Each structure stands twice: as structure tokens, then as C-alpha cells.
């Protein structure tokens, strides 16, 4: 069975994008290629325990084991050596990507405290969107009783769109709750 958000993309979003931007070929229609979650905890005094907690919680959220990221240089002021674990990342593609985005849009983002929508200014100029999540407990997979530390991470949605306007329209049609223009200026 196909993920619900992918079905919405195929049935509704792709045709609306083709009509709005006048694509001559169906392969020109922007789509989402991957979602990357990246968390850093470089300043933690207990890096080993922090890395285990972050990898475990990112695995629960995404359904895929996180890969630890390691330092490439040594910084003596931070007591950091080459090869120390300083973060974790997960790259989602295919079915897991669509299911994660569906959960993020419909379940997790509305539970963010004082949520007025995601910033519309977080596009990178090439059609990719990044948003910072400061608290991982917005996801229902995380049991609040077992949380020792709150984990923040960046969520990057990589698209095949060539401009930010195309990517913004794609994500809006998929249901990403962006701030209204009047609220974005405030």
C-alpha cells in the first residue's frame, strides 16, 4: 500500500503544479527526493551518553537507525579530538520519507508550543527547505517518561525544484503549514 502523502502528491499536487508552472514534461514537475534529519550535541560533557540517546530517539522518530557524525578536527578548547562523536544524522528516502513527512505535517507540527506556522524564509535558493526543531518530544513515538534530555535537530526537505517559488508551492500543496505573509513580517 502506498503512503497517503505520496498518493496526494500523485493525484492532486503534481497536476496542480503542472498547470500552474506549465511544465511540458512530467519529469519537470518538482518532487521530494529525500528528507535529512541532523542533530548535533558537540558541547555535551557526557558525549557518549548523549550520542546513544540521540541515535536511539532519532531512530524511534524516523524508523531508521541514525548514523553518528564524527569530528574531523581537534579543538582543544572544547576538549574535542579527531573522531569524537559530535552528532547524528538520518537520511530518509522512498516510503519512509513519505510516511515521516505525513506524520510531521499532520501530527507533530501542530503540537509545537505557540505554533503559528513554519517560516517561509528557510529556503536555500535551490528549492530545498530547512527547519529547526528545538524539541523532539513533539513526535508521538517518544515516551515522555523516558526522556533524559531534549534533542533539537534540523529537518531538511530536498526537492527537485529549481526555484524557491516552485518548492514553496510544492510544499504548500502537500500541506506544510507555513506562516501567513502578514505573520512572517512580524
Provide the pLDDT for residue 13. Answer: 87
CATH class of 4-41+55-67+88-174: alpha beta
Please give the grid coordinates belonging to residue 106. 499532520
Burial environment of residue 122 by CB neighbours within 10 A (0 to 12, 13 to 18, 19 or more): middle
Return the number of other C-beta atoms located less than 10 Å from residue 85's C-beta: 19
- CA–CA dist 126, 39 (Å, integer): 22
Q: Split the chain (186 residues) into runs of 10 and give each run's mean pLDDT.
A: 86 89 88 90 68 82 86 78 82 90 82 78 86 78 72 88 88 84 56
* Cβ contacts of 107 within 8 Å, gap of 6 or more: 139, 140
Q: Where are the domains of the chain?
A: 4-41+55-67+88-174
Closest to 125 in 3D by CA, of 163, 161, 160, 154: 163
Residue 179: what pLDDT?
79
> Is the full-model pTM beyond 0.95?
no
Amino acid at each position: 500500500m502506498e503512503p497517503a502523502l505520496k498518493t496526494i502528491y500523485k493525484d492532486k499536487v503534481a497536476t496542480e503544479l503542472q498547470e500552474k508552472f506549465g511544465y511540458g514534461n512530467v519529469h519537470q514537475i518538482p518532487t521530494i527526493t529525500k528528507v535529512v534529519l541532523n542533530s548535533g550535541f558537540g558541547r555535551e560533557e557526557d558525549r557518549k551518553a548523549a550520542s546513544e540517546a540521540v541515535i536511539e530517539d532519532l531512530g524511534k522518530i524516523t524508523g531508521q537507525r541514525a548514523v553518528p557524525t564524527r569530528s574531523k578536527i581537534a579543538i582543544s578548547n572544547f576538549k574535542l579530538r579527531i573522531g569524537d562523536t559530535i552528532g547524528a544524522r538520518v537520511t530518509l528516502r522512498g516510503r519512509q520519507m513519505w510516511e515521516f513527512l505525513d506524520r510531521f505535517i499532520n501530527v507533530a507540527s501542530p503540537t509545537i508550543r505557540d505554533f503559528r506556522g513554519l517560516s517561509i524564509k528557510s529556503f536555500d535558493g535551490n528549492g530545498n527547505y530547512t527547519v529547526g526543531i528545538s524539541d523532539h518530544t513533539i513526535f508521538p513515538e517518544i515516551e515522555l517518561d523516558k526522556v533524559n534530555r531534549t534533542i533539537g535537530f534540523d529537518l531538511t526537505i530536498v526537492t527537485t525544484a529549481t526555484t524557491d517559488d516552485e518548492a514553496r508551492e510544492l510544499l504548500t500543496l502537500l500541506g506544510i503549514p507555513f506562516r501567513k505573509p502578514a505573520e512572517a513580517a512580524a
